[in-house]
């Protein structure tokens, strides 16, 4: 499946990025490649600016990082899933699993599956939508384009997309088959969340208050687009924003009352631990 348009945003690179993109475009004249200047406000805003640049007439948009390797059927799988699931006005986000590997595309292991459904109750406290696998249909593109003008410094673009789509009543289609080879190296902005060292890192971040800062940023970004959320999810966002600052029992009760959850038992236990320590 060949894309109708490839948008590349150079967000202030100091290497040979622009020359590489131009050489690729010249070598593939059948592809419509457009090189844009990024806003230079970080990775999240760079991706949001790209989403806003998607023209009318594009039915599906998929995101791509610069160093991953797509599997041959990635685009077709996403398009088939979105086409098969959608009514004309359905807001859909497709994403899936990856092959996690090293920089040389070796030592592969498949990323975790979903063990609980994707939805706003999960999206408020965890991101399961890996940005390099995301594909949006036209209603989701329109939602993201409009809401991105309101969002104030979301932590990362993919988590925000998961939150705004599900918050507005949209649906996530999660593909349990891997879609690409996800290189793990020191230059990863986020990287895969696997293994003992990753758990130690997450615990350290939580204790240092980083998770709480991230939640504050996400709440601010979503609150700016609160009018786009369903009434139930708007109330949940408000309860999350206030409840996490209450007493110990109020914080724990807020999680239970709203049915917030992370994937897996350990993840949900860590959610309650963060709330108990006032780090949520």
Tens digit of each residue's pLDDT (9 = 90 or more) over 205-235 = 888 999 999 999 999 999 999 999 999 999 9
Fold of 40-183: Spore Coat Polysaccharide Biosynthesis Protein SpsA; Chain A (3.90.550)
Nearest C-alpha neighbor of 156 from the set 188, 182, 202, 181: 188
pLDDT given at position 175: 97
Name the average pLDDT for the chain.
93
| Residue % of the chain over a pLDDT of 90 | 84
pLDDT given at position 188: 47
- Each residue's pLDDT tens digit, 68-101: 999 999 999 999 999 998 777 899 999 999 999 9
Nearest C-alpha neighbor of 240 from the set 226, 224, 260: 260
- Each residue's pLDDT tens digit, 156-210: 999 999 999 999 999 999 999 999 999 986 654 555 555 566 678 878 988 899 9
pLDDT given at position 89: 84
**Is 278 a residue whose pLDDT tops 50?**
yes
**Is 14 a residue whose pLDDT tops 60?**
yes
Domain boundaries, the chain: 1-38, 40-183, 195-276
**Is 9 a residue whose pLDDT tops 80?**
yes
- Each residue's pLDDT tens digit, 247-258: 999 999 999 999
């Amino acid at each position: 499946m060949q894309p109708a348009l490839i948008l590349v945003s150079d967000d202030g690179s100091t290497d040979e990025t622009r020359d590489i993109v131009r050489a690729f475009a010249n070598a593939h004249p059948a592809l419509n490649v457009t090189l844009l200047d990024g806003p230079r406000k970080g990775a999240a805003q760079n991706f949001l600016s790209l989403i806003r640049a998607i023209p009318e007439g594009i039915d599906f948009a998929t995101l791509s990082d610069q160093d991953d390797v797509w599997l041959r059927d990635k685009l077709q799988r996403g398009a088939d899933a979105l086409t098969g699931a959608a009514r004309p006005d359905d807001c859909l986000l497709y994403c899936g699993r990856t092959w996690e590997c090293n920089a040389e595309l070796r030592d592969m292991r498949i990323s975790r599956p979903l063990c609980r459904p994707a939805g706003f109750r999960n999206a408020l406290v965890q991101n399961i939508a890996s940005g390099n696998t995301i594909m949006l249909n036209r209603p989701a593109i329109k939602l993201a384009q409009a809401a991105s003008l309101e969002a104030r410094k979301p932590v990362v673009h993919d988590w925000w997309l998961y939150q705004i789509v599900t918050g507005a009543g949209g649906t996530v289609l999660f593909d349990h088959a891997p879609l690409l080879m996800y290189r793990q190296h020191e230059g990863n902005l986020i990287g895969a969340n696997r293994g003992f060292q990753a758990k130690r890192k997450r615990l350290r971040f939580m204790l240092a208050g980083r998770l709480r800062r991230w939640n504050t940023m996400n709440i601010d970004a979503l609150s700016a687009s609160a009018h786009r959320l369903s009434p139930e999810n708007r109330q949940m966002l408000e309860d999350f924003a206030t409840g996490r600052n209450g007493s110990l029992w109020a914080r724990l009760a807020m999680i239970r009352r709203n049915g917030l959850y992370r994937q897996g038992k350990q993840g949900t236990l860590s959610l309650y631990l963060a709330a108990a320590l006032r780090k949520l």
